[in-house]
Amino acid sequence: MQKRPIQRGRPAGTTTYEAEPAIAFGAAVRKVRTSLGIAQEALAHLAGIERSHMGKIERGEHVPTLPLILKIARALKCSSAHLMELTEAKLAKPPARSRARKPDPEG
């Protein structure tokens, strides 16, 4: 029997995280940041990370580690608990429905 080669990495299109919590956390960070009038680049600098990384976090493309969550909270001058509350509130909301109207069954 012939050995199959080992493929490294994940198959294309797979993720190792749940997107919904990542998106909700990113929205919470963006909400606090914009309410304080801080630019994304400035927040990234204050948190000690690259601007592109901060953008990925805000878009929900990356789940930050606990130490990074604490750095972001410190940079926003809020608690990590506040960011988690905003994240949980976003997750508790039902998903937005499309605005398309259903066809009238009576014609």
Model confidence at 9, pLDDT cuts 50, 70, 90, reads: low
Pick from 1-5, 53-57, 91-95: least confident: 1-5
Domains of the chain: 19-90 (1.10.260.40)
pLDDT digits (tens, 9 = 90+) for 71-86: 999 999 999 999 999 9
* Per-chain mean pLDDT for the chain: 86
pLDDT, average across residues 96-106 = 55
pLDDT digits (tens, 9 = 90+) for 52-70: 999 999 999 999 999 999 9
Q: Are 50 and 44 in contact (CB under 8 A)?
A: yes
Task: Give the separation between CA 67 and CA 76, rounded to whole angstroms.
Answer: 14
pTM: 0.74
